[in-house]
Structure formats: structure tokens, C-alpha cells
A and B are shown apart, each in its own frame.
Chain A
Amino acid sequence: MASASTTEPTRRDMLYIATGAAAAVGVGAAVWPLISQMNPDASTLALASTEVDISSIPEGGILTVKWRGKPVFVRHRTAKEIADVQAVKVDTLPDPQADSARVKKPEWLVVVGVCTHLGCVPLGHQGAHDGWFCPCHGSDYDASGRIRSGPAPRNLEVPAYTFVSDTKIQIG
């Protein structure tokens, strides 16, 4: 509207400001749904919890289940593994956290199987601590899913979960 040839209307005119403002509001309101549609839809949000039967996991075994499109590791830890991870001095860790803060029952560890570095899936029972080892960039996790060495900044995430019964957990 800033045409050099039109001298009559001035930009300060209230009518022009109101019209421009209303048009801007309209464009904003129309654009919002076009952006919001990319957020998770109602059916995706409704599937956000899953039940897992853990009775068949042997001691030392890891079950991988899919939750929200990502792998979740359910690890039935041995007495030795529990003792090892509990013996670690917490303040020496890159992301200090006690094992007891990461489990509901010591023999069951539930973590999201996504490396906190750049999102690869770490391999179980590998690495220096026999926890997980990420093949992408060499992040090494212990049997509590805590980062011990490598580029990952944080421990493997513990999802929200509850024990529905002794043999069943609900994730999410």
C-alpha cells in the first residue's frame, strides 16, 4: 500500500490500521489449523499406553516391545547385575542417578530403547558394562540404562509404567 503515487491516504489513518490488523488476525487464525494438523491425532494419542506380559522373560533376558512407535526394553536383571549397578558410585556418573530411582522392582528394568545421543537403538548385553552399547557412535550404558561413556548426554529414559499385576506391566 506504500505506493509513491498515492498521497491522499496516510498510514496513520485508524481505518487502515484496523483493516490491516483484522486481516492479519484472519490470516493467523486460518494458518493455525494448517499447522496444528501435524500434531499427533486423536487415534495416536489414544494408543499411548500398552500392556506387556513379562512372565515369559527369563532371568537375564531382555524383551523389546513397541510403545508409541519406539522400542522399550524390559530387562529381567540377574542378582549380579543388580548388585553391580547398585554398587556404582552415583556421583562419578555423567548423568548421576541411583539405580533405585530408575526401577520399581530391582529385578525389572524398563527403559526406552532409544540412545539419548541421536536416537539409534542400542544393542543389549554389549559394551564394557554388559548393559547396552550403541553401535552408531559408541555410547556405553550399564544394566541400569545409565550412560557410562560415549557421546550420549543422558541415561536411557524410563517411561511411565505401572505393575498391573506381578506378571503384567502397563507402559504409558
Chain B
Amino acid sequence: MVRTTKISLAVAALAGALSFSSIAMAADPHAAPTPDRQSWTFGGPFGKFDQAQLQRGFKVYREVCANCHSMSRVAIRTLADEGGPQFSDAQVKALAAEYKVKDGPNDSGEMFERAGRPSDKFPSPFANPEAARASLGAAPPDLSVIAKARSYSRGFPMFLLDAVIQYQEHGADYIYALLNGYTDANDPNWNAYFPGHKIGMAKPIDNGAVEYTDGSPATLQQYAKDVSAFLMWTAEPKLEERKKTGLRVMIFLLILAGLVYFTKKKVWANVQH
């Protein structure tokens, strides 16, 4: 009798929960399509960035994105870091020198421009967001952590499962989908994946816009893939180190758990509990 009450209550509660979620599905008014899940080298517990892809992605960023978007929290020197694009120190120095950086004040109290150094952050294309808005109509977001600042809802129960399957690349998938989402030939500001579909950024890149030297196809899809990976790296430059450390920690904790378990078992062997 008690058991049946319990089961019937559980069933009732479960049915209730399911009906809520079906209400949710039907009532969602912001129905932008869900970005497709791409396969990334940096996904999963053993994920690593593809160095060549990051280098290509940087090229796309530099020649296209950087014309409007700042990336002010990323230091140029990190392009040489392990777990990143890993340009050589000499390459990074030369790259840095191509940027003009505002510095000062000098001895006469004036600000001046100098060649960039690796220790500088990437200089912004506009002095401030207001200047960007005045020139472009809207201030483009900073790209430093954009791949972590963008996401999309996977709904119940996928959002819970994502923790188990370690799906963490929502941002990169969204950026990839967005760059491929300019599907209205008549309206450069229409985007399939942007909430509300009207995006301030007109179609920024198309086939052949950036020249690749490593034989990768110069297509929009390839650009989008590479620059999304690059932006994942700028958002999470320690990703490789994190996953590598995590593997060691997990192995250690599993061994420790086994040791503590058997110790505990041995100590408790003489106790009724």
C-alpha cells in the first residue's frame, strides 16, 4: 500500500515535470535554430589546439575581424606560448612591431606612438566604444573572451548531459554557425543564427578573402572554422594545460580513492555497522 502510494506519486511528479518541459518547447518565442555541433580538436578530456589552425585563425582575425573588433585583454606575446599558435619568438617580435601602440607621456608630457612590443596587448581599432559606435553604428564586442561569452540553450535534459559528455564548445559552435549564417543574398545584415536575425555586423567575410599559405581551402567555411578555434584559444589560452593537469589529477584521485577505500575497509572489518 505504501509502496504503491510512493510509485504513483513519483509517476505523477514525473508526468508533471515532463508536461512543464513540453510547455517550454511549445512556448519558446526566440526560435533561432540551434547551431550544429562541430568537431573540434580541443574538445573532450584530451583536447588540444591544432597549432596550424590557430595560426590560420589568427590570420583571419588580423586581416578581417581586427578592422572593427578589439581584443584588448590578449597580449601579443602569448602568440608564442605553449598550447597556442606557437609562433616563434622572432615571428612574434616582428608581428608586434607592425602594430602602432600609443604610449607616454614622454619627457615633454606628450603621448606618442611607437612600434608594438610582444608585451603589449593587441591595440584596439578604435580609441573607445563611443568612437566605434560613431563610426560603425554599433560598438563591436571585444573578442578576447567572446568564445566563452556566447552560448546557446540546449534545453532539458541536454544541458545537464553536457557536463557529463564535457561539451564546452557552445561558443565556438555559435561563432562558426554565425559566420556561415548570412544566408539571405539580399540582406547582408540577416543572420539565421543571430537571435532576432537582424545583426549589426554585415557579412564580414566570404570565400577567398584571406590567402592561406599552407594549402588549406580558402573558403568561408574554413575561415569560420579556423577563426572560431582561434577565438576559443584567446578565450581559454590555458585549455591544454588545464586538460593535461586534469588528467593527472583524475588518475591520482582514483588511485587515492582505491587506497583510502581499502584502508577504510580494513579498519572497519572488526566493527559491526
Q: Is the pair A56, B107 in contact by a Cβ cutoff of 8 Å?
A: yes
Q: Is the pair A22, B255 in contact by a Cβ cutoff of 8 Å?
A: yes
**Given contact pairs A46-B77, A46-B118, A18 touches B266 in the complex (Cβ within 8 A):** no
Chain B interface (Cβ within 8 Å of chain A)? 75, 77-78, 107, 118-119, 252-253, 255-256, 259-260, 262-263, 266-267, 269-270
Q: Is the pair A18, B259 in contact by a Cβ cutoff of 8 Å?
A: yes
Q: A15: CB under 8 A from chain B?
A: yes
Shortest CB distance A48–B (Å): 9
Q: A19: CB under 8 A from chain B?
A: yes
Shortest CB distance B10–A (Å): 40
Chain A interface (Cβ within 8 Å of chain B)? 6, 8-9, 13, 15-16, 18-19, 22-23, 25-26, 29, 42-43, 46-47, 56
Q: Is the pair B263, A46 in contact by a Cβ cutoff of 8 Å?
A: no
Of chain A, the residue at the smallest CB distance from B252 is: A26
**Given contact pairs A29-B252, A43-B75, A46-B77, A15 touches B259 in the complex (Cβ within 8 A):** yes
Shortest CB distance B25–A (Å): 44
What are the 3 A-B residue pairs with the smallest beta carbon separation, nearest first? A46-B119, A19-B259, A19-B263
Shortest CB distance B159–A (Å): 31
Interface residue from A8, A18, A25, A29 paired with B270 (Cβ < 8 Å): A8
Bound-state Cα–Cα, A90 to B262, Å: 71
Q: Is the pair A15, B107 in contact by a Cβ cutoff of 8 Å?
A: no
Q: Is the pair A46, B252 in contact by a Cβ cutoff of 8 Å?
A: no
**Given contact pairs A43-B119, A47-B119, A56-B107, A15 touches B266 in the complex (Cβ within 8 A):** yes
Which residues of B lie under 8 Å from residue A43 when comparing CB positions?
Answer: 75, 119
Shortest CB distance B50–A (Å): 23
Of chain B, the residue at the smallest CB distance from A23 is: B256
Most chain A CB within 10 A, of B118, B259, B262, is at B259
**Given contact pairs A26-B256, A46-B75, A56-B107, A15 touches B119 in the complex (Cβ within 8 A):** no
Shortest CB distance B266–A (Å): 6
Bound-state Cα–Cα, A21 to B231, Å: 42
Which residues of A lie under 8 Å from residue B266 when comparing CB positions?
Answer: 9, 13, 15
A-B contact pairs, 8 of them (CB 8 A): A16-B263, A22-B259, A26-B252, A26-B253, A43-B75, A46-B77, A46-B118, A56-B107
Which residues of B lie under 8 Å from residue A23 when comparing CB positions?
Answer: 256, 260
Shortest CB distance B176–A (Å): 29
Shortest CB distance A133–B (Å): 26
Shortest CB distance B92–A (Å): 11
Of chain A, the residue at the smallest CB distance from B78 is: A42
Q: Is the pair A22, B256 in contact by a Cβ cutoff of 8 Å?
A: yes
Shortest CB distance B249–A (Å): 8
Q: Is the pair B107, A19 in contact by a Cβ cutoff of 8 Å?
A: no
Bound-state Cα–Cα, A69 to B255, Å: 46
Which residues of B lie under 8 Å from residue A16 when comparing CB positions?
Answer: 263
Shortest CB distance A21–B (Å): 9
